[in-house]
Chains A and B, each alone.
Chain A
Amino acid sequence: DAGITQSPRHKVTETGTPVTLRCHQTENHRYMYWYRQDPGHGLRLIHYSYGVKDTDKGEVSDGYSVSRSKTEDFLLTLESATSSQTSVYFCAHRDSGTEAFFGQGTRLTVV
């Protein structure tokens, strides 16, 4: 399973509600990433982390926040979900000089 788990795997939520997606890795890797995947756009970086409490924005960070209080967990929060945030969300982790490992994805639908 590449030492990474995303939860939930599927979620339907209403517009305006907050949503938190969780990514958990068991490899003690330094770097973690949240991406969204939409048709025609490929994988776009939302936020990433290079250590506990060290995070930075990606190219599509508006409307999203992240937290990393432990090495193994990287949380993505949609502060007030909108229909444009309906997407498939992937988490990944890697360490310096290693390949990247991906979660199975979370399919989020905002209605």
Chain B
Amino acid sequence: KNEVEQSPQNLTAQEGEFITINCSYSVGISALHWLQQHPGGGIVSLFMLSSGKKKHGRLIATINIQEKHSSLHITASHPRDSAVYICAVTGTASKLTFGTGTRLQVTL
């Protein structure tokens, strides 16, 4: 079992829809990261959080430390949001461990 599990693996949405991507982890962590990767592109950090909730534009990330679960929400989705969204955790020895990603496709 992977230390970091994401769901769903693939997601298709229509423009304007509210999107939720989930991440569960099984190890103790000091922080959780949400990252974005566009096709053929580099990897960009969206959020780093260790408790509570963060918001940036149409993106919201939440974390529940007790339940070892985090969610990434996208409000009013747009085709330019189409990308792979990756959850990663900073655990023991400062290793950065990744989930396998959620491929999001937003259509018109």
Instruction: Write the nearest CB–CB distance from B44 to chain A, whole angstroms.
Output: 7
Of all chain A residues, the one with the shortest Cβ separation from B43 is A102
- A103 and B98 contact, Cβ closer than 8 Å, known pairs A56-B93, A98-B48: no
On whether the beta carbons of A100 and B96 are closer than 8 Å, the reply is yes
A48 to B88, CA, bound (A): 15
Of all chain A residues, the one with the shortest Cβ separation from B49 is A99
On whether the beta carbons of B86 and A42 are closer than 8 Å, the reply is yes
- A45 and B96 contact, Cβ closer than 8 Å, known pairs A99-B45, A101-B45: yes
Count the A residues whose beta carbon is within 8 Å of the partner chain — how many?
26
Contact of A45 among B31, B48, B95, B99 (CB under 8 A): B95
Q: Is B7 an interface residue (CB 8 A)?
A: no
Contact of A102 among B44, B47, B48 (CB under 8 A): B44
Instruction: Write the nearest CB–CB distance from B69 to chain A, whole angstroms.
Output: 18
On whether the beta carbons of A58 and B33 are closer than 8 Å, the reply is no
**Which positions in B face A, CB cutoff 8 Å?**
31, 33, 35, 42-45, 47-48, 86, 88, 90, 93-101
Listed from nearest, the 7 A-B pairs whose CB atoms lie closest are A42-B100, A102-B43, A43-B98, A99-B48, A99-B45, A104-B42, A42-B98
